Structures are given as structure tokens and as C-alpha cells.
Structure 1
Amino acid sequence: MSRDRTVDALRAYAIGGVVLGHWLVTGLVLTGDGGLRQASPLTALPALAPVTWVLQTLGLFFFAAGFGSARSLARHRGTSAGWLARRSRRLLLPTVALLGTGAAVLLAATVAGAPDDTLAVGLHLATSPLWFLAPLLLLVALSGPLRAAVRRWGVLRCALPAVAVVAASDLAVRLLPDGVTVPPVSVLAAWSVPYLLGVAYADGRLAGRRAAGLLAVGGAVALAVLVAVGYPLSAVGVPGAGVSNLNPPSLLAVALARTQVGLGLLARAGWERLVDRPLAGRAVAAVNSDAVRIYLWHQPVLVAVTALTARGGLTLPGLHTTPDGPGWVLARFCWLPLLATVLVTVVRGGRGSGSTPRPAGPGRPRGGALADRSAECVPRAAQVYDHRRSDRADLQEVIAVRDSDPPSRGRADGQPR
């Protein structure tokens, strides 16, 4: 069973969208006492809201997770418990490494006299993304029944109940008085839709352009309708807006996921040509293999760089200033190369915390874990994707990001078979 280069490329695009999106919408403002407080440029620049539709890529992550789990399950020969333990371990080990390192850094910062505001922001940004573990692990555990259900009833019938749950949750939020919260029942339901699409794609469904086109067009129409009836335009939360499409996910988030998956599958040929290029292929493989660590560490890196530079006493534009205009956005872009360099250094230094490199063997390139994985994405003439390696690369499969703002809801179509 060969690797699917389209899914690998979509996963790499998704992690890039997460990192870039967070680094652009997370402003850390230097306060008078030397601490940091969080702010968002979306508050002052609402015209940027449509950009969030490109950078909020959670649907692609769960699509890739469903695909990876279904493929792995199809070739697994042991017990289902052993399969689940192995896949869960690949997600949990890097998380434990983050928590252990983060606790040590937090203790050291406290002893060094870091302001309470900075400690609170750092702790929040480091731990808030960990919410994805619960829905992801539950969906992975249900991969067998979900795969059987898709084969029996098709992805449309399987997704409709989940869409109905999110719709009911949306309605409850709008009808209940202010101050009354609704349990986040839509979290699992909303992300199960792209996960089911990934399972269906791994089973040979959604492979044609017609199915991909129906996903994309149906999702786009649903997005337009939802915005027209009053759903927030931003795909992520905007401080002070009162409601959010992402925390927990609304049906607009489901419609966006459907649209992104459809467009991604429509561009299948383009993704494959891209990954066939040696440099791009190796970049895709590198991002895929380190996706969990990139996801876990990109926000702590932002806090660390911002806090350490603040200790010099300078207020640097785009790093410590209020995100109140286009100038801040331009200045933040100038800081992205430094943030990326630090993130790459941290991720490379953390290799081994989530997996154990396998020894080189016949046909396996030497040079460590990255060389092993990067060989998966070089041109077909030089290297064919090897299913024996894809279990390990399936650590790539999914990571997600949420905003920290109040909940909202939306509406989306069902999915074609």
C-alpha cells in the first residue's frame, strides 16, 4: 500500500497554516510592569477575517487523521488494542515531553522573577492546544466501527448525525440566556465529519473530481449561507466578539472543513507534482514527520522569544506592541524568520522524545530519523512511498488548534458518498 502524496501535502499545508495563523493573530503586548498580555489584530483589523478561512486548517488535520488511521488499520495484523496503544503512544509521548519541559521552564521563570502576567500567558498558550488529544484519541479508538459504518452506509449518512448535533448545539447557544453555557458536545461531532471524510478517502471513495467538486461547492455554498444568516465571518475567535466559530466548533467550522477537503482533493494532481520535486518533497516529509512537535512547540516559542527580548528593555514593533493596524502585521512578518529558526531548532532538539529511530537497513537511507522519513517524499523515480514506513509517518496525522474565545455555532451540508 503506497503513501498518498496528496494527504502528505495537505497535512504539511495544514501545519503551516496553524503556525502562521497563530503567530499572526497572537499579539503579546508589553505592559507597564514588564509583563505580557495577549491581544489580537483581528479586533482592530476585522477586514483580515477572510484570511482566517485559509489559515484555520483543523478540518484538514482531522481529514488526514481519518485517512491515516483507516490505512493503518487496514494493514494491521495484530490486536486492535495493540494498534490503538501504538498510535496513542505516538501522540502522548511528545505531549508528555512538552509538559515536563514546560514545567521546568515555568519553575525557572518563576524563580527568576518573571511577571505573573507573562507566566499566565505562557501557561495558557502552551497548554490550550492540548484539547485536541481527547477528540482525536476517541476518534482513533472508534476508527474500526467508523470504517465499517462508512462502508455500509456511506459517508453522507454517517456524517449527518454529527452535523445535526452541531446544529442543535448552535441553536441552544442562541436560545439560552446570556451566562448559560452549553456543554461542548459539538467538539467531537464537528471534527468527526472531516475524520469520516478521511476514512472514506482511504477506502477509495471521494477519489474522483466529481466527489471533490461536490464537497468544495457544497461547503462554499454553506459558508455563504451561514455568514448571511449571522454567523461570524472570522473562522477563529475575536476577543470581545462574544461568540466564536471555533471554541467550540460551529457548523461554519464544519462547512469550512468540507470546503478545504474538497478543494484539496480537486488539486490532487498539483499536490503530487509538488511533492515529486526533490526540495519540496523533502520539506513536506520533514514537516509531516515532526508535525506533532511543531504543533506543540510553536506557541511556547512565540512566548519565549517575546519574553526574552522584552528583558532587554526595548519595546519592539510587531513583537511587544499593540496589534492595532497594518503596520503591526507588517512588523510581525519581519519576525517570522526568527520565530521559524527557533522553532526548527527546538523541534530538532526534541527528536527522540516521541519516537525511537530505527536502524538503517537495506534500502533505508542513513542519517537518522529525518533522512528516513524524508525519503518518503522524494520523486517516484528515486523513491516509491513505502507502506512499511507509513505507520511511523502517521504521527503526522493530526493536530489541531483552537482559539481561546467564547463559543459560537454554524451550519453545514452533509457529505457525498
Structure 2
Amino acid sequence: MSTTELTAASTPASVGRHGKWRRWVHRIDAATPARRDRTVDALRAVAMLGVVIGHWLVSALVADPGRPGVLTNHSPLAGFPGAAPVSWLLQLLGPFFFAGGYAAARGSRGRAALPWLAGRLRRLGLPVLALAAVFVPLLAALPALGVPGPTRQVVWSLVSHPLWFLLVYLLLTASTPVLRTLTVRCGLWWLVPLVGTIGLIDTMRPAGLPSWLALAVVPLGWAVPYVLGIGLAEGALTERAGAVLLPVGVVAGAALIGAGYPASAVGVPGDGWSNLDPPSLFTLALAAAQLGLFLLLRGRLAALLRRPAVWAPIALLNLAAMTIFCWHQTALLAVSFAGLPFGQVPGLLSPVGGDWFALRLLWFPAFAAVLVGCCLLFHRVETLAARRPRAVPTG
């Protein structure tokens, strides 16, 4: 859709003028071109929510009662191996890269490569620069403010670590013309040797991968769902493929766990190695199952998304996707620091225990409220980055 049109439709001022939710959602619906694939936007929105909820669940900050002001980060999954299936539901980076590949293929069609790439870099880069403008001076000031070293490390880790995906995303975005050409000429069969390469590297994991090799595998692994998204945009992947991807992904994932792969879709201390760092065959199997389910449900989802009240929140989540991603860990940190004077607040700063997950969920409204505040402050940067001189069809 035209970002300028949708932004105008989705501002609080617009809601105030019309005064009713019904007219607001119809305004957003009317600003959406008929050519836009709403199902891919819905997939991206669900993937973004999965990332946010997942990070809020697996980032267990614990206050040290013996050292005031000291926070340490723990993985609640380490003490709850039965929670591994939750990671299968919330680790949705495969669908996220899939949606990115689809949008890149659609958005670059008929456009010169360099201007299109410059626009994409601007859209991705400006929100990150806004985040850096806040946290670079803040991190530099923390030692002078007397913040303990472990706490500074937690802040740096939570804010910077999620941004790794942007580097991979930028690399794949820059490679879109080549990936799209390969997909158009060869279909999706050229992914077979790529998947085989991931499997070969997996055999080396128990002995430990060299750091350079692990870094090289990351974009190779995420290229698979990214290219599948290109395939959907170019007609090389159809909804019927869901009937293959879903059972193959489920069976392959179960077989890999039986063969000794970690059951969790994310890294867990004590597992020996992580399915996510770099992406393993299990990660690709999980992505295949998730995308297969999406393709099978795509027709029904398209019909549902034609309802303005269903489409409006999906559209807003997509419009603010980068802002949400950049600032969701800030929301977690802000609430955690607010609770620090009160010690080991249950579910917020307490050690992981039997009821920790239930208590953690009670803090989600506070995290969400702070995140909404961050979005109200910084979403203008993303809106500015997304403006184009003319409406351009995207995925």
C-alpha cells in the first residue's frame, strides 16, 4: 500500500476526527491497494509478535540480593525442558524471512536495483540509528552513573543482540536480484544443495564450528525461507506446496530430534549447541512446517483479512514493524529497572521457579504499555524512512 496514505489513515488524529473505530478501520481498508497480499502481511505480523513474546519470555533478569543494582540474565528454558514446544510456536524467524523475500521480490519488480536497494536500506537503517542515538550515549554514561558491570552487560546484550538479524536481512535484501534470477530460471530446486550444505555443516557441530564458518552459515540458512518467499511472489511456490512442506517439516523435525538435535528451537544453556546459532536443519524443518501450515490456510486467511476490523491491526503492526522490533527489549529493561529497588520481584526479577512463566505473563501488560510509549515517540522515524515520492506496490 502507499505508506503515506496508510500513515494518514492510521494516525490518532484521524481517529479523533471520526471518533469511531468502525470508520477508522474502514479508512485503513480503503487505503490498501487491492493488489496487496494481506496474508503475507498477517504472517509478518504474527512473526513479529512471536519475536517480541519470545524475547520477553526467555529473558529472565534476576536481581542479586547480595549486590544492589546487579542484574544477571538467565534462560528459563534451561530448567524447563518440557517448554521446548513453546519455542516451536514462538521461534518464527523462518516466516519473517519468508515474508521479507516475498516483499523484496514484489517491491523490486520493474525498478532499478540501486534506487530500490537504497530505499530498503533507508527503511531498515533509520529506526536502528534512532535506537543508537539513545543507547550509545546511555551506555557510555552508565559507568559514570555507578551501574555495575554485570548490569551494563545485560543492557548491552538485550539491546544489541536482537539486531543481528538486521545484518542478515540486509545481506539477503542486497542479494535479492541474484536470488530472484536464480529462482525464476531454476525454480526452487537450487535450494536443494543449499539445504544439503546446512546438513553437512551440522555434522561438524558437536566438535564445535569455527567462528568464521558459523557466521557464514547464518545467511545461508535464512536464505532458504527468504527464497521460498521469492518463490511465492514469482509463482514458483503455490498453496498446494503446503501439503508437502507441513508433513515433511514435522517428520524431519521429529527425526532430527530423535537423532540428537536439541529439542528447543532457540539456544538453551547445557544443550551443547543451538539450533539457531547458526540455523540448523531442525530450524529449516520447523520453518517448512510453519510455512506449510500458512500456505494451507492462506485461502481462508485471505477471506478473513478482507474484513476491515481484522485487517486494520495487521496493517498497523506492519507499518510499525521496525519500531516494535528495535524497542521491544527496551520496554523489558525499563520495567525491570523500575522494579530493581524492590528486589527480586516475582516474575520480573526473581529466580526462575515453578510458577515463573505464569508470573511472567502478568508483567506483559506493563511491557506492552512501555513499548506502545516507545512506538509513539519513535515511530515517526520509521514513517519518515518509509515515505516515497510515489506509491509503490510492495509485498
Structure 2: distance between partners of 1:314 and 1:143: 49
Which residue number corresponds to residue 388 of structure 1?
Answer: 391
**3-state SS of 2:72 partner:** strand
Q: Which residue does the alignment assign to 2:193?
A: 161
Counterpart amino acid of residue 65 in structure 1: G
Distance 2:251 2:386 in 1: 47
Distance (whole Å) between structure 2 residues aligned to residue 322 and residue 83 of structure 1: 48
Alignment of 1:89-108 (within 5 A): 89-108=122-141
How far is the alpha carbon of 1:357 from its aligned partner?
A: 7.9
- Residues 357, 244 of structure 1: alpha-carbon distance in 2 compared, 3 angstrom cutoff: closer
The reply to whether residue 315 of structure 1 matches residue 348 of structure 2 is: no
Q: Which amino acid aligns with 2:40?
A: V
Matches within 5 A, 1:226-265: 226-265=256-295
SS in 1 for 2:289: helix
Q: What amino acid is the match of 2:299?
A: A
Q: Deviations over 1:114-163 (max 9, x none)?
A: 222111101011111121122212211121121121111111x2211221
The structure 1 residue matched to 2:316, chosen from 270, 275, 286, is: 286
* CA distances 1:45-89 after superposition (whole Å, capped 9, x unpaired): 11010110010000011100100000011142xx31111111111
Q: Which residue of 2 aligns with 1:49?
A: 84
SS in 1 for 2:344: coil
Distance 2:279 2:351 in 1: 28
Matched residues in 2 for 1:72 and 1:16: separation? 23
Partner of 1:26 in structure 2?
59
Number of the residue aligned with 2:378: 350
CA distance in 2, matches of 1:2, 1:261: 22
Partner of 1:80: 113
2:203 corresponds in structure 1 to 171
Question: TM-score of the superposition, structure 2-length normalised?
Answer: 0.86
Distance 2:271 2:197 in 1: 24
Alignment of 1:130-169 (within 5 A): 130-155=163-188, 157-169=189-201
Is the 1:5–1:272 contact (alpha carbons within 8 Å) kept by the matching residues of 2?
yes
Partner residue, 1:369 = none
AA partner of residue 226 (structure 2)? Y
Shift, 1:216, TM fit? 1.1
Structure-2 separation of matches of 1:39 and 1:4? 40
1:375 aligned partner: none
Contact 1:15 1:291 in 2 (8 A): yes
Q: Distance in 1 between matches of 2:393 and 2:135?
A: 30
State the alpha-carbon separation in 2 of the partners of residues 336 and 107 from structure 1: 29
Task: Trace 1:366-385 onto structure 2 (pairs within 5 A).
Answer: none
Matched letter for residue 318 of structure 1:
G
Q: Is the 8 A contact 2:123 2:385 kept in 1?
A: no
Gaps of 5+ in 2: 1-33
More helix by share: 2
Cα distance change, pair 276–110 in 1 and its aligned pair in 2 (3 A)? farther
Does residue 268 of structure 1 match 2:298?
yes
Note the C-alpha offset of 1:241: 2.0
Please report how far the alpha carbon of residue 164 of structure 1 lies from its aligned counterpart in structure 2 after TM superposition: 1.8
AA at the equivalent of 1:18:
V
* SS of corresponding position for 2:272: coil
Specify which of 95, 98, 105 is matched with residue 63 of structure 1: 98
Mapped contact 1:29–1:321 kept (Cα < 8 A):
yes
C-alpha contact (below 8 Å) 2:183/2:236 kept by paired residues: no
Q: How does 1:96-135 map to 2 (within 5 A)?
A: 96-135=129-168
Whether the 8 Å contact between 1:6 and 1:265 is mirrored in structure 2 is: no
Q: Distance in 2 between matches of 1:308 and 1:183?
A: 41
Residue 107 of structure 1 and its aligned partner are, at CA, apart by 3.6
Instruction: Verify the 8 A CA contact 2:105 2:230 in the aligned structure 1.
Output: yes
Residues 1:164 and 1:283: Cα distance change in structure 2 (over 3 Å): same
Quote the residue 1:296 is aligned against: 326
Task: Using the TM superposition, give the Cα deviation of residue 230 of structure 1 relative to its aligned residue in structure 2, in angstroms.
Answer: 0.7
For the residue of structure 2 that corresponds to 1:351, the secondary structure is helix
Cα distance between partner residues in 1 of 2:152 and 2:144: 11
- Structure 2 vs 1, CA of residues 348 and 390 (structure 1 numbering), >3 Å: closer, same or farther? farther
For 1:204, which of 211, 223, 235 is the aligned residue? 235
Identity of aligned residues (%): 41
Aligned residues between the structures: 359
Q: Tell me if structure 1 keeps the 8 A contact 2:41–2:315.
A: yes
Measure, in 2, the Cα distance between the counterparts of 1:223 and 1:258.
Answer: 10
Question: What is the CA deviation profile of residues 245-269 of structure 1, one whole-angstrom value per residue up to 9, with x for unaligned ones?
Answer: 0011111111111111111111113
**Structure 2 residue 337 is matched with structure 1 residue 334:** no
The CA distance in 2 between the partners of 1:179 and 1:150, in whole Å, is: 30
Measure, in 1, the Cα distance between the counterparts of 2:347 and 2:270: 21
How far 1:108 moved relative to its partner? 4.3
Aligned to 2:13: none
Contact 1:246/1:253 (<8 A) preserved: yes
Once residues 296 and 3 of structure 1 are traced to their aligned partners in structure 2, the CA distance between those partners, rounded to angstroms, is 25
Distance 1:182 1:324 in 2: 37
User: TM-score normalized by structure 1?
Assistant: 0.81
Task: Report the RMSD for the aligned CA atoms in angstroms.
Answer: 2.2
Q: Report the CA distance between 1:389 and its aligned residue.
A: 5.2
Alignment check: 8 A CA contact 2:155 2:333 kept: yes
